[in-house]
Amino acid sequence: MMFRKLISALALVSGIGLASTAMAAMPAHPQLKLATLDGHGFDLEAQRGRWVIVNFWATWCVPCIAEMPAISAYVKAHAGKVSAIGVAYDDTELADLKAFMLKHPLAYPVARVPMDQPPHDFDQPQGLPTTWLIAPDGTVAKHFVGPVTAASLAAATGLK
């Protein structure tokens, strides 16, 4: 099991897909309901009317950590128009993840998803960070593999 997690982690970092990882077509209006680390829930459908950044990352992913402040600042700058959910695609213990978040505070909630159980309507990330931008109508507007910036988010949303 540990070997499988190591291979999965290496594949994510390198962007190499695993042969056993089947990529299913995402639905036109993906659903996402997750329990967040702060004890609340996140429901993608409840976010309709605003842009939603769904960002998959891990505590061990340096580019993921580097992009987090940009996403947080973008969400703050566009309050009411943009929301986000950080999906810690990580097998880190919950207490360790919460300690990590205290060192890296964000303006949006974070949920933990085990690496072998990606959310049903989202493709398993083939590299981290991976971000899906959901349009106000609930459709997938853009899929990013690799770090996002305020400029790339602005280009995709039209919100400067």
CATH number of the domain that residue 35 is part of: 3.40.30.10
Q: Which range has the worst mean pLDDT, 54-63, 68-77, 85-94, 114-123? A: 114-123
Confidence of residue 6 (pLDDT cuts 50, 70, 90): very low
Is the predicted pLDDT of residue 34 greater than 90, yes or no? Answer: yes
Whether residue 20 is contained in a domain is answered as: no
Residues of the chain with pLDDT > 70: what percent? 85
Q: Which two tokens stand for residue 23?
A: 């990529």
Q: Residue 151 falls within a domain, yes or no?
A: yes
Tell whether 139 is covered by a domain: yes
Whether residue 9 lies inside any domain: the answer is yes
Which pLDDT value is given to residue 8?
Answer: 44
Q: Which two tokens stand for residue 152?
A: 């790339």
146 and 54 Cβ atoms separated by less than 8 Å: no
The answer to whether residue 35 is domain-embedded is yes
Residue 63 lies in a domain: yes
Predicted TM-score (pTM) of the model is: 0.85
- Domain encompassing residue 65: 2-15+29-157
Count of structural domains within the chain? 1
At 95-149, the pLDDT tens digits run 999 999 999 999 999 999 988 888 999 988 989 999 999 999 999 999 999 999 9
Residue 22 domain flag: no
Burial of 114-133, coded b for 16+ CB within 10 Å and e otherwise, reads ebeebbebbbbbbbbbbbbb
pLDDT at 2 over 50: no
| Residue at 23 is within a domain | no
